[in-house]
Structure 1
């Protein structure tokens, strides 16, 4: 389901019941287009996510942890100036549009009370979060600045007058059906056509909501009653994660017709967390890690091309022995050679039944011709040694960057910092980020810390740690873990280092840790994944090896199929 006006209606109702009259305790902007306001209400802290992401724009209470930037943005500072400690008086919706107003009251620098609006407009790529002074209608700031060159209808800039989005000449379905509802249903017996017609008559109907309404109106009985009953369900939602006939997953405020219910959630916010968690995380990783992805792809392409060239060179040196044989035959039969000849055919004493035709230079003496073949043989022999070494090093680079790419694919946004640092330390990535330049002096004074690995708890209470990138892996396996702890890693596949913090874990704990190792690897979507495990004391990092690379002996292997439900359960087992 799209986050349409009807779903917005239900979400506003939920927020009004949950956080109204609460006080703003924290304001952060973890990502460029997203703000999290933590509101203290009824003895609980509720992180309210206001997302102007072009693909995943929404408003909700979120339980997904976010990592905030070291330096707050200017927009964050403006919000903190006006909203820190403010009271949320209420949450309202503009008609049935995807525009939500959060009404705040606070005190200014002089102690005078002021009324403020934090407005989120959920409109795909035009989505925005705007702070407005209610009395004057002046914009204090917006998460996205929109000038006259982008929008002639209205400016979204500090100091500009806030103008509401263009109104649609449509009816609010929560005010009841139109008088011509019965005639409309008669005129459009086809459900698909009726759904399209309803979208042009009523405000805030997404495609799937309109289709569900059309299916309801085709039932026998009082159409007006069916219409009102349909929209009444948005005021008493049954948050539903459903499967569509095409196999895709969808979220709805209540079960829609022609869908298979997969999961019911207690609240709309929990529904959105469940639906968006992986999708939004992948999108954020793609956005924030775009530079890293480009660098790694370029390095992979460069090393793979180099590997092909080296292999061709190695293949060309397979005939090196021919030069040695020709040199030895020429040396043996020097007395038969005369200066000025261009070819000679001599008995091949390595093959008694054949003669060998050998090309000569008429500018060289017979002995010089023989020495030329010996030199060519020595050159090819040296090339074999050099090329073999280069192939080994280049293949190691390919494996390394393949591993980095797999880590980016599996990473959460918070893990990208360590991957960026690793690429910078390896000389593959230059630091062009303007914020990092601004903090250059501070970075000289303090060494950048490596983030903590993810933590899980086995069914029997044993702690398990999972490194999400090479720097974490090195620190976890070589410095943090005890020598008696158990180390796990998928066999011959890029993945995370996993540590069981116990010397003799149970078979169940070992299988659960192996499941984590398989899940946080490139084999996440595979079945029967081999996972090696060995005591940490048997790990060894060769001198000069790249981050995350270790060798080991005496390992045992188990086979598991990654299960996301088990991973969630092990994460939920962590002590609060």
Structure 2
């Protein structure tokens, strides 16, 4: 996340959460802090703020789909809870145009902070009227591998840090020094001096101008080359391109998510993190890509990071499985080569038996030579004399040695043949699994292969588990009165067949954390996306479920239909109403085309 995009998110956060009260604080993983904020007189009243300092994707934004808590409490988390529970968020400030954000909280000194995790969501915490406000500052440094969170007291001293690097507790916090130039005050001559070197324009902008990451630096270069098709574009046009990017940023209101493929066709098996871009402005560099506008930077950021993490995780798991399989195949091929060597070392057991028998048959006529005995070969029709090599003193001793070698070679050949057959079967199975990995088009398929191999998929609970899309116990049951579908991401989607079935599906089958969907303003089926508590539903799955809700409604023949969705816990039955009639306390909407894309599962009653 570059500084210019971060500035738009900070501006949005000021509008959304200033004055909100901190109700809960937890760690989604060792690098990600989550805060539940209560906003009086706003709907929804509760929102979650995510602050992640993961080296690959450091970021700050609101989230709708809250990751489950998987990290053990740390001293940092315990101190943040003690200092921030019940506090109100009074200020959000981005330092310069850098990737550094300060969150200032105030709490009445007498506010009790011993709130249990099971406290009511609407519970308020009030201090006495004569209490003194305590200020606490949370600083988010989003500098890639150096990213960190710092908890400061009112004097600016570091009380705790999330990662074990950066300024230590007890030190007065000082923002990292920066020699980069402020883009908003940069004039033409200063800009010419910056880009006059031998480096490419985009690289010069990233190195010298604050807030410019790869996205907007590359955009300046793309616009520059469009303005100047000649072989050597002029510096003045480069400055014009630079100013056009800043002007677009200054008036941007809605983020744009660019993807090489439309989001509904996003496939992590074929995509990479470079195939999606989050921008505050229209991009010349992404001409020809699919562009989706969003109302909120936080919504767009949540979808963006979900897409890139899914693509990255898919590619990482596929690469890990391929490395594991290649290592296992190489291990067995080495073993096969060693077995071939052992077999050659054992020799021909029939030859050893034949020589032993000839030595015994010629025991009284054998002629000693420096390297063995000369004997008549009775197996040769011409009865030629051959030499049998041996160092034994007598033909009888030599024969005993060859019979021992015969038994050893014969037994060894049988064992080697058995082991070779096992290795060939294992190699065949490993190569078959290699083809499955190559053909896999969804993360659950790779996770299934990993479990078949006895490997724990990356992200299991021991290291911050992300559950698989469906719960076998819930997803496999026969449920009467519903159509059962499975999304492209492996999530179970249930569709009610009648009004009575809708009511049973919503209030008896669905869990409070499942996602509920229905065509807005039209009679139709209730649709449920089953998920684990706190699990993020991918955009593609949400789209496919919404398309089902539109298709199984009286708006089926419309070109587009508005579909509302929310968590099941926000759906309630209207007293004394007909079956299937409900009211929603919170919901969101999206517009889709009525159609069936999800796979039908033929297990319904």
Q: TM-score range by the shorter chain?
A: 0.5 to 0.7
**Counterpart in 2 of 1:97?**
98
Q: Please list the CA deviations of residues 159-184 of structure 1 after superposition, one character each: whole Å capped at 9, or x if unmatched.
A: 221112214462352xxx55x43895
1:143 pairs with one of 123, 137, 162: 162
Unmatched 5+ residue regions in structure 2?
112-126, 229-236, 262-270, 457-461, 492-537, 550-566, 569-605
CA distance in structure 2 between the partners assigned to 1:212 and 1:86 by the alignment: 41
CA distance in structure 2 between the partners assigned to 1:96 and 1:451 by the alignment: 34
CA distance in structure 1 between the partners assigned to 2:353 and 2:383 by the alignment: 17
Q: Secondary structure at the match of 2:8?
A: helix
2:151 pairs with one of 131, 144, 148: 131
Q: Secondary structure at the match of 2:390?
A: coil
Answering whether residue 218 of structure 2 is matched by residue 208 of structure 1, we say no
CA distance in structure 1 between the partners assigned to 2:191 and 2:98 by the alignment: 23
Classify 1:275/1:322 alpha carbon distance in 2 versus 1 (closer, same or farther; 3 Å). Answer: farther
Bigger relative contact order, structure 1 or 2 (CA pairs below 8 A, ≥6 apart): 2
CA distance in structure 2 between the partners assigned to 1:202 and 1:11 by the alignment: 20
Q: How does 1:37-186 map to 2 (within 5 A)?
A: 37-41=35-39, 42-43=43-44, 45-62=46-63, 66-69=67-70, 71-108=72-109, 112=131, 113-133=133-153, 135-146=154-165, 156-168=167-179, 170-173=181-184, 178=186, 180-181=187-188
Q: CA offset at residue 194 of structure 1?
A: 5.9
**Counterpart in 2 of 1:382?**
411
Matched length:
441
Q: Please list the CA deviations of residues 289-316 of structure 1 after superposition, one character each: whole Å capped at 9, or x if unmatched.
A: x999999998887666444423432454
Query: Residues 171 and 202 of structure 1 are in contact (CA less than 8 Å); yes or no, is this contact kept in structure 2?
Result: yes
**Counterpart in 1 of 2:377?**
347
Q: Please list the CA deviations of residues 138-174 of structure 1 after superposition, one character each: whole Å capped at 9, or x if unmatched.
A: 212111244xxxxxxxx6222221112214462352x
Q: CA offset at residue 376 of structure 1?
A: 0.9
Q: CA offset at residue 6 of structure 1?
A: 0.8
Unmatched 5+ residue regions in structure 1?
147-154, 425-435, 437-449, 456-464, 466-475, 482-498, 518-563
Answering whether residue 238 of structure 2 is matched by residue 237 of structure 1, we say no
- Greater CA drift, 19-28 or 79-88: 19-28
Query: Residues 5 and 205 of structure 1 are in contact (CA less than 8 Å); yes or no, is this contact kept in structure 2?
Result: yes
Query: Residues 28 and 70 of structure 2 are in contact (CA less than 8 Å); yes or no, is this contact kept in structure 1?
Result: yes
Query: Residues 191 and 214 of structure 1 are in contact (CA less than 8 Å); yes or no, is this contact kept in structure 2?
Result: no
CA distance in structure 2 between the partners assigned to 1:340 and 1:204 by the alignment: 93
Q: CA offset at residue 8 of structure 1?
A: 0.8
Query: Residues 49 and 60 of structure 1 are in contact (CA less than 8 Å); yes or no, is this contact kept in structure 2?
Result: yes
**Counterpart in 1 of 2:18?**
20
Q: Secondary structure at the match of 1:165?
A: coil
Answering whether residue 331 of structure 2 is matched by residue 324 of structure 1, we say no
Q: Secondary structure at the match of 2:19?
A: coil
Classify 1:115/1:250 alpha carbon distance in 2 versus 1 (closer, same or farther; 3 Å). Answer: same
**Counterpart in 2 of 1:549?**
none
CA distance in structure 2 between the partners assigned to 1:355 and 1:63 by the alignment: 93
Q: CA offset at residue 63 of structure 1?
A: 5.2
CA distance in structure 2 between the partners assigned to 1:314 and 1:320 by the alignment: 10
CA distance in structure 2 between the partners assigned to 1:24 and 1:356 by the alignment: 101
TM-score, length-scaled by structure 1: 0.59
